[in-house]
Amino acid sequence: MKTLYLIGFMGSGKSTVGELLHYDLGISYLDTDQMVVEKYGEIAAIFQQEGEDKFRDYETEMLTKTSPENYIVSTGGGIVEREENMAFMKNNGRIIYLDTSFAQIADRLGNDPSRPLWRKNQKDKQKLYQRRAKWYRQLADFTVMTDQKSPEDIAGEILKILEH
Ligand SMILES: Nc1ncnc2c1ncn2[C@@H]1O[C@H](COP(=O)(O)OP(=O)(O)O)[C@@H](O)[C@H]1O
Ligand SMILES: O=C(O)C1=C[C@@H](OP(=O)(O)O)[C@@H](O)[C@H](O)C1
Ligand SMILES: [Mg+2]
């Protein structure tokens, strides 16, 4: 199976659904954020001490380590901030976009302090959401709407997509 990259905004469920698919399909799993944390430490600390650009370097480093076959990869919401990342995923695997409304994301994340870009004010977060939504849509081979669905239902929809 070609590697599956899950993309979407923070809180769309990439990490949660990625792990479910990993168990359902019995194939290997990676989360680019987890890989960064294991090598470089907590994300909030990286943003604070080294800046977002350095975090993006680490994120790209981890993405380019992922293999084109037999992996489920949950990406970070900002993976689309670099064109080289988008090109890498397009050339190496299949891309599924978890499309979630801003309102639902706000419900899920609340005041989560572990995501530095979620600490911005409401207007900036909405702008970021709109700017990235375009890229997610363009990049995706498939899109799954996630509002009002459980992670299990979303994983089930993806499994159906993979059967075709
Ligand atoms: N379909 C869903 N319905 C309700 N809550 C969800 C759903 N998917 C994820 N969550 C919750 O939203 C939060 C963010 O999920 P996560 O998988 O970390 O998203 P991402 O990796 O896209 O940022 C977590 O608290 C998770 O339990
Ligand atoms: O959207 C972003 O720029 C980010 C999303 C986060 O991952 P999730 O999308 O898994 O929350 C994480 O990579 C970091 O906090 C930056
Ligand atoms: Mg995640």
pLDDT by residue (tens digit) across 7-33?
Answer: 999 999 999 999 999 999 999 999 999
Model ipTM value: 0.99
- In Å, what is the CA distance from 123 to each residue of 12, 91, 100, 127, 141? 19, 34, 17, 6, 29
Distance CA(65)–CA(57), nearest Å, equals 13
d(C-alpha 34, C-alpha 75), whole Å: 10
DSSP-derived 3-state class of residue 46? helix
Which residues crowd ion ligand 3, with CB under 5 Å?
14-15
Question: What domains, with CATH codes, occur in the chain?
Answer: 3-163 (3.40.50.300)
Report CA-CA distances (Å) from 109 to 1, 97, 138: 32, 19, 25
Ligand 2 pocket mutation, candidates 10, 53, 98, criterion most atoms within 8 A of CB: 10
- In tens, the pLDDT along 102-152 reads 999 999 999 998 999 999 999 999 999 999 999 999 999 999 999 999 999
